[in-house]
Amino acid sequence: MSKKTLYTIIIVLILLGVYGYEHFLKEEEVQVAVETGKAEKKDTNSYFLPASTTGLVIHHEGYSLSYSETHEQAEWVAYELKKSHLSNTNHKRPYFEIDEAVSTGAAHWRNYKNSGYDRGHLCPAGDKRYSQVAHDETFLTSNISPMEHQFNSGIWNRLEQKIRYWTRMHDGVFVVTGGVLKGNMETIGDEYVSVPNQFYKIVLDNNSGKVKMIGFLMPHQDSKKPISEFVVPVDYIEKLTGIDFFPNLENTLENTLEASSNYKAWSLY
């Protein structure tokens, strides 16, 4: 065997070894995420994350969530929406996929088929157009909830657009959203995915000089009313859901912000 041939074989073996090691690390990282429900959080400020009532918190690149196995959906999804995130890029719409990071098993998208309900995004794909990865991960089934089409494309969509408008006016906001997983609810599919009777969004502005917060609670039905009519204090949503939304805030500040329902402070923008 010539030296040239020997060197070639050695180089190939080294390259195969490096590839195999990187592949092993990647597989190990995925396995840890699946087993523990934890992954590196790259673009969500953990300081503002709500408390979890289920203990099953998942971190994706563009958002975090607390999964409810009982209801086969997130009790909350939380994320930062930065001005730099707002983009008109139209990524190809991917298929919905099961979120493998949910150790108890996220609901299958087939539960929604012929159910009469949309696969309603909690973290909207429109808020994550700044990258293909961030956009595509909004199509994980842990980020969807059954929504009536007219509600999803109507008042809910109007609220999402208003939050993007506020994001442009500031240097970003922090958003928490989900269905109210309480009371008597219809279910769909073989996994009995709960259909919330109400949905909420909470918006925190920590960038415009004076911290402010606003909460919205919407019946799960189409409405032509202005979104201002759905404003409620955040502490009311807390009592309704049993979730402590901003446990890391200083208590006095938290109590003041969560008791507010001042839409005028936001309507100036």
pLDDT of residue 27: 37
Distance CA 187, CA 71 (A): 9
Query: Are 30 and 102 a contacting pair, CB within 8 Å?
Result: no
Distance CA 18, CA 31 (A): 20
pLDDT of residue 268: 61
pLDDT of residue 209: 74
178 — phi, psi (to 5°)? 175, 180
Q: How confident is the model over 81-118, as pLDDT tens digits?
A: 998 888 887 888 889 999 999 999 999 999 999 999 99
pLDDT of residue 4: 52
Residue 20: strand, helix, or coil: helix
Q: How confident is the model over 188-228, as pLDDT tens digits?
A: 999 999 999 999 999 999 887 788 999 999 999 999 999 99
pLDDT of residue 28: 41
- Give the DSSP H/E element, type plus range, for residue 200: strand 198-205
The partner residues of 179 in beta bridges, in order of sequence, read 199
> Cα angle vertex 73, ends 127, 44, to 5°?
40
Residue 102: strand, helix, or coil: coil
Report CA torsion sign: 226, 227, 231, 236. positive
What Cα–Cα distance (Å) separates residue 129 from each residue in 14, 137, 190? 39, 11, 32
Per-domain boundaries in the chain: 1-36, 38-267
Which segments in the chain show pLDDT lower than 50? 12, 18-41
pLDDT of residue 206: 86
Reply yes or no on domain 38-267 having CATH 3.30.70.2190. no
pLDDT of residue 42: 53
Q: Which residues contact 1 (CB under 8 A, 6 or more apart)?
A: none
129: amino acid identity, one letter: R
pLDDT of residue 2: 59
pLDDT of residue 30: 33
pLDDT of residue 237: 97
The partner residues of 119 in beta bridges, in order of sequence, read 146
Burial 61-76 (b: 16+ CB within 10 A, else e): bbbbbbbbeebbbbbb
The angle, 0 to 180 degrees and rounded to 10, between the axes of the packed helices 251-259 and 234-241 is: 100
